[in-house]
Amino acid sequence: MVLRRHRTPMDKYLKTADTDWYKQRITGVIICALAAFVVLFIRLIYLQVIMGDEYRRLSLNNSIRLQSIDPPRGRLYDRNGDLLVDNRPSFDVNITLKDAEPLKPTLEKLALHLQTPADALLSQIKRTPGVSAYSPLLLQQDVGRNTLASIEVNKFDLPGVSVDVNLRRHYLRERQAAHLIGYLSEISLTELKSGSYPDCRSGDLIGKFGAEKVYENLLRGKRGGRQIEVNANGLVVRILKTVEAKPGHNVYLTIDQNLQQRTEVLLDGVVGAAVAVEPASGKILALASSPSFDQNSFVGGITREQWASLISNPFRPMSNRAIQGEYPPGSTYKVITALAGLQEGVIDDRSIIHCPGHYRFGNRIYRCWKKGGHGNVDIVKAVEESCDVFFYQVGQRLGVDRLAWYAKAFGLGSPTGVRLDHEANGLIPTAAWKKRRTGVPWQEGETLSIAIGQGFNLATPIQMAIIAAAVANGGHRYQPLILENIKTVDGQLLQKNEPKLIGKLPVSPAHLELVKLGLWKVVHGENGTARGSRLSDIDISGKTGTSQVISRKENESMAEEDMPAHLRSHAWFIAFAPSEKPAIAVAVVVEHGEHGSGAAAPIAKEMIKRFLRKPTVHTQVATQDEKNNTGGDG
C-alpha cells in the first residue's frame, strides 16, 4: 500500500514561483541576445553601407595605387628651328608614407644614400601640407646616377622609397635670352587657389617669367596616369591600366639664336640692353638685358642664398632692362623733334640756324655739345652732327605740348604691347602733367631740354627700337612680337602669328625721307657722330645719343671721364640697315657708357653685321672695315 502525501496550498505556490523565475531568466537572456544582435546588425550596416566606400578605398589602396604621369613640356625654338629649351631625364626620390612604416628607421637608411640628415627629411615631410599616406611624396630631385644605383640595390631595405624618372626643363645655353624665355619654378599656394592652373597640383613646375609664363597653357600639356598593383613593400607588381599624358605644344619664338648669342657676348661686362626688330613686321630678332641670370638654377628650386645674391646684386640681373629700363633718350629723341618741326612747318628743308656753340634763352645759356659750334646748320646737317642749338630752337618754336603729342604718336609714354610682363611706360611730360605732379607751372626753358631728349623724358630700349623700325619702314608702327608660330610635337602648324599694325607716324613721306638722309649721314657723312661704325658692305642709318644722369648746369666744367662712374651719362644708339631696304632695326643703351658713338654704336654695328652677313653665305667683303674714327656725340 502506497501512502501519498497530500499537496498543500504552499506546495502549489512554491511550484508556481519556480516556474516564473525560470521564465524571467530565459526572457532576460533572450533580450540580451537580441540586443547584441541588434548592435551587431547596426554595426554591420554602418561598416558596409555607410562606411563601405571608404573602407573599400582603403582596401584597394593597400594593393592598387594611382600614379600621375606628368606631360612632356613643349620645347622652345628660335625662328630658324634651332632648339633653345629642351627637357632632360631627372631621377627623383619619392616616399610613400604608408609603405615606409616604421618611418624613422626607413628615413635613417635613406639619409645615408642621399647624404642628407634624417631629421631634414622628416622636417621636409612635415612641411608638406595635406600629404596623403598613399601618395608618393617628393624628397629629392635630380639625384645622380650613383645615388640612383645605391637606392635601387638596397630597395628591399627601403620600403616605400621609389625613384621615378621625370622630365626636367633644360635651358641649353646658360643665361641666353633669359629675360625673354623666362624660367620655371614650383607653383605657389596662391597660384593653386587662383583657378588659373586647373590641371596643376602642389609640387608642379610652371612658367614664372618670360615666354615660359606667357605661353604656359600651350607648353604644359595634359596630365596622364596609370593604375598599378603594389606589394606590401610598395613595390610595383604590375601595371593595370595606363592613360598616356598629352605633351605640350612646341613654341617657335621670333628671335634669331645666332644674333641673340652675339648680342649677349657684346653686352658681356656692361650694364645695359639691346633690342633688334624686323621693321616690316615688328618681330623681335634679339632682346638682351645685361647682366643676366641662369634659368636652370630655378628649375630644381633656387636656394635662399642664391636668391639673396640675385636680389641684392646692385646691377639687378633679374630686371629686364630691354622693356623695364627707363632712361632719358638723349639725342635719339631728336628724330622726333626734327619730324615734328617739319610736319608743323616751324622749319623746312631750307631753314638755316646758326650754331655758335651755345644758345641764350632768358637768363641762361644752353650749350651745344660741340664747344666751337657747328656754324650754319640745316635739318640734314643738324641730324648728322646732332647739333643741340638747332634742336633747342625747333623745340622752342613747337612748345612742350606739341612735342609731347608727336612723341606719344611715335609710341613713347605707353607700353609697346610686347607680350612680356611688367613692361614700363616711360614718360612724356606735358605742361599739365608737371602742374599736376609738382604744382609748378611749366617753364619755357624746360622745353629746350625736352627737345634734345633730356629733362623729364624717359624711354625704354624696346620703345626706341620700334621707333627706329617705324622710321625705317616708311612710318608704320607695329606691335613687337615674340611668337613666330605654334606647332604640335608632330610638326602640325596650330597658329602662325601675323604682324599687327598699331599706328602710323603722323608725318609726310617727304619729311621722313629728309630725316632718313640725315640718319644715313650720321654713319656715312664726313662729320657724322657715328662715322666710326661704318661697314664696308652695308649701309647703316642711325642716331647716337648721350643721356645725362644728372644736370650739368652746376658741373659744366667737369669732364665726363672725371665724374664718378655712376654719374656718367648713358650711351644710346638706334639704327636700321640696310638703309635702302631695311631688314633690321636696333636700339642699344649702355648705362654710364658716356657717349653713344663710343659705347652703344659699336654694339649695334656688330649686331647688324652678324644678322646681315649670314654665316652660310660666303660673300666677298673688304678685308678691313673703314677706320674707326669715333665722332662727336650729341
What residues act catalytically?
331
| Host H or E run for residue 83 | strand 83-95
3-state secondary structure 545-582: EEECCCCCCCCCCCCHHHCCHHHCCEEEEEEEECCCCC
Cell of 593: 657708357
Give the whole-angstrom CA distance, residue 278 versus residue 479: 11
CB 224, CB 244: distance < 8 Å: yes
Count of alpha carbons within 13 angstroms of residue 69, beta-carbon side = 15
* 315-344 as b/e: b if 16+ CB within 10 A: ebbebbbbbbbbbbbbbbbbbbbbbbbbbb
Is the previous residue joined to 578 through a cis bond, with omega within 30 degrees of 0? yes
- For residue 113, give every residue at least 6 positions away whose Cβ sits within 8 Å of its Cβ, in sequence order, or none: 147, 150, 151, 154, 158
CB 572 within 8 A of CB 595: no
Note the Cα 512 to chain centre separation in Å.
Answer: 35
CA triple 67-70-76, angle to 5 deg:
170
| CB distance 221 to 245 below 8 Å | yes
CB 575 within 8 A of CB 469: no
Give the whole-angstrom CA distance, residue 591 versus residue 291: 11
Phi and psi at 209, nearest 5°, equal: -165, 150
In the chain, the largest separation of any two C-alpha atoms, in whole Å, equals: 173
> CB–CB of 351/568 below 8 Å?
no
Measure the CA–CA gap between 259 and 614, rounded to whole angstroms: 10
Rounded-to-integer distance, Cα 623 and Cα 536, Å? 9
Closest Cα partner for 77 from 198, 195, 250?
250
Residue 445 · residue 508 · CB < 8 Å: no
What is the rounded CA–CA span in Å between residue 145 and residue 355? 73
Element (H, E) at 320: none
Three cell numbers written together for 4:
501519498
